[in-house]
Amino acid sequence: MKLFRKILLTASVIGLTASGTAQAAGKIVIDGSTTVGPIAKAFAGYFTQTTGIQVTVSESGSGNGAKSLINKTCDIATMSREMKDKEIAAAKSKGVNPVEHVIALDGISIVVHPSNRINAITKAQIRGIYMGKYTNWSQIGGPNTPIIVIQRESNSGTADSFKELVMGKDNPISKRAETQSSNGSIKSRVASTPGAISYIGLGFVDSSVKDLLVDGVEPTAKTVKNGTYPIHRPLFMYTNGPATGAVKQFIDLAKTPEGKRLISETGFVNIY
């Protein structure tokens, strides 16, 4: 807390040296991932309370977060995947230098309706379901119920991570898969659909859905941090150039006891 009392006293004189439009406005503007959204919002509430600096958080998806940084309309782009080469090239063409900051870890949880008697699944079975090889739960030891496959929209960082970590480059997702726009909408759809399967960030799992063991490993903070849960990933904040001033103080919350508490309370995993 001493750090933030110091920030409060000095915020008026340090100047917001972060890049983007927020510098002139005296606030921090954040846009991007719906997965990182809960962390960004928790940080924002605490940061504004302790420094008086306004922080706005939008959740338009990782891809749109990258676009916002490229277009200099945000100070921090939150992303649940790394920036792609083409995004970095587009940024540099506009004089933007994306700098990556890992703030937490996440496990991509495979979720089904609580009534589904399936408790565990393999990556190979998940891949088979999403490719359309398995269309009924009875084919992998579950009930005689058609499988309703749900994925995220193409702009989603979680979708990109799922494709990389589970599907691989040569295994396309079936065109029969339904698309939802956020972790929250996926959770609601699975919770109301007995035959559904999908994937959401670890911090979004609650009793309305059932998360499955993957290759025999339960998705928990411990298994994500030690790397034994097979579908894990880092979560990012990106800035234009090295973070400075209030933006650096905001991102560095992830290294503080209070920031670590907030990350844990949102259901994600501390990296520091």
pLDDT in tens, 104-138: 999 999 999 999 999 999 999 999 999 999 999 99
Q: How many residues does the chain have?
A: 272
Chain segment 29-39, per-residue pLDDT in tens = 999 999 999 99
The reported pLDDT for the residue numbered 155 is 87
Q: How large is the average pLDDT for residues 208-225?
A: 97
Q: How large is the average pLDDT for residues 208-213?
A: 98
In sign, the C-alpha dihedral spanning 15, 20, 25, 26 is: negative
pTM for this prediction:
0.87
* 197 contacts 75 by C-beta, under 8 angstroms: no
The reported pLDDT for the residue numbered 25 is 54
Q: How large is the average pLDDT for residues 161-187?
A: 95
CA distance 65 to 266: 20
Q: Do domains 2-105+235-265 and 106-225 have the same CATH topology?
A: yes
Q: Is the pLDDT of residue 23 over 90?
A: no
Strands 98-112 and 210-211: antiparallel
In Å, how far are 39, 103, 235, 237, 257 from 270, measured between CA atoms? 11, 8, 10, 14, 10
Please tell me the CATH superfamily of domain 106-225, with its number: Periplasmic binding protein-like II (3.40.190.10)
Q: How large is the average pLDDT for residues 57-76?
A: 96
CA distance 168 to 211: 22
* Contacts (Cβ under 8 Å, ≥6 apart) of 255: 272
**Percentage with pLDDT > 70 across the chain:** 91
Q: Structural domain boundaries of the chain? A: 2-105+235-265, 106-225
Query: For the CA atoms of 235, 203, 32, 230, what is the dihedral angle to 10 degrees?
Result: 40
CA contacts within 13 A on the Cβ side of 155: 15
Q: Which amino acid is at 250?
A: F
Chain segment 224-266, per-residue pLDDT in tens = 999 999 999 999 999 999 999 999 999 999 999 999 999 999 9
**CATH architecture of structural domain 2-105+235-265:** 3-Layer(aba) Sandwich (3.40)
CA distance 21 to 56: 12
Structure confidence at residue 24 as a pLDDT band (50, 70, 90): very low
Which helix (H) or strand (E) is 50 found in, with range? Answer: helix 37-51
* 105 contacts 264 by C-beta, under 8 angstroms: no
The reported pLDDT for the residue numbered 107 is 97
